[in-house]
Amino acid sequence: MKVGSRLSAVVLAALLLLSSCRTAGPQTAAIFAMDTVMDFTVYGGAQTLADAEARVRELETLFSVTSEESELSALNRSGGGTVSAETAALIPAALALCERTGGALDITVYPVVRAWGFTAGEHRVPSGEELAALSAAVDYRGVSVKGNAVTLAQGAEIDLGGVAKGYTADRLTEQLRAAGVESALLNLGGNVQAIGKKPNGDDWRVAIRDPQSESNVAVLAVSNRAVVTSGGYERFFERDGVTYHHIIDPATGCPAKSGLLSVTVVAESGLLADALSTALYVMGLDRAAEHWRAYRDFEAVFVDENGTIFLTEGLQSRFTPVSRGAAVEVIRL
């Protein structure tokens, strides 16, 4: 009896110690959603991780083109319809970015993406005629949104894969901040959102992958920023010695061949960073640099086919190459 109560006192003390450690340390979660592995590290706030996961699942149900049951799939099947407030917010925001990038980003690219088999994972190389026919219907200007009513031009289908994770990261950031979280790092499969700084006051450190190996090329020190990378190495297949990747040039219907292997965009908005990383990859280095000079609302890091790293000048103090011998060039105004 005595031994028992002493034992339970020890167990209770250990449990208390554990739970106090838990409040001091971060809450972490790894989930599979939106076709990718997501890692969340959140300091402070109660119940926040479960709420964040629920939010991701809710948005996935709306935006996924791989799920027949999603709101987007239903919209694509019927060529239009009335959508949720969330979808009715994302589509016009994405269309504005299609316009801003001169169609390098085009959310109506879905029939082409599907023809290459990137959606179902059944990869194939479509014929030139097939691509020409499908590309003819790719034009974001054929999507009209009035309130919650969306209409698609004949043959057009929407793919939000280039922007949905960025939009989701923005919504999670809002939600976590509203719950009182001041420090968190959300990684939505290459879309990183740094909320505040680390609890010790340092910037968050976000690595940029080497597109040609498993290692990293550089580290960025950031706070309150989205850091989003698009790269051909993220999703690709090989046929007869040729590599085909998932970022499509809407002008040709083929995987973009711009001389770049990856583009990382740093911006306040996750949606902007996500949209631009995809679009700048299609544009190539020169057009991308011009876009940066024209807008100045983001910074970027590019890795080209020679392994040279280019960074916009606003990132100079935040950028550390992993290898000292790396070729690094600064893009200036």
* Residues near ligand AMP, by CB under 6 A: 105-107, 109, 113, 118, 159, 161-162, 230, 235, 246-248, 250, 274, 277-278, 282
**Residues near Mg ion (CB under 5 A):** 162, 274, 277-278
Q: Of these partners, Mg ion, ligand AMP, none, which one is at the site of residue 109 (CB under 5 to 8 Å by kind)?
A: ligand AMP
Using the minimum distance from each CB to ligand AMP, give the nearer residue, 198 or 287. 287
**Closest separation in Å from C-beta 59 to ligand AMP:** 15
Q: Which long-range contacts (CB under 8 A, 24 or more apart) does 150-156 make?
A: 150/75, 150/80, 150/81, 150/82, 150/83, 150/87, 150/88, 150/91, 151/79, 151/80, 152/75, 152/76, 152/79, 152/80, 152/108, 153/108, 154/79, 155/111, 156/79, 156/108, 156/111
Helix, strand, or coil here: 37?
strand
Rounded least distance, CB 109 to ligand AMP, Å? 5
From Mg ion, ligand AMP, none, interface partner of 107 (C-beta below 5 to 8 A by class): ligand AMP
Helix (H, G, I), strand (E, B) or coil at 72: helix
* Per-residue DSSP letter, 157: B
Residue 168 interacts with, from Mg ion, ligand AMP, none (CB under 5-8 Å by kind): none
61 or 66: whose CB is closer to ligand AMP?
66
CA-CA distance, 134 to 248, in Å (whole number)? 13
First and final C-alpha spacing in the chain: 78
Closest distance of CB 190 from ligand AMP, Å? 7
Q: Least distance from C-beta 163 to Mg ion, angstroms?
A: 6
The CB-of-178 to ligand AMP minimum distance in angstroms stands at: 26
- Measured from the CB atom, is 48 or 277 closer to Mg ion? 277
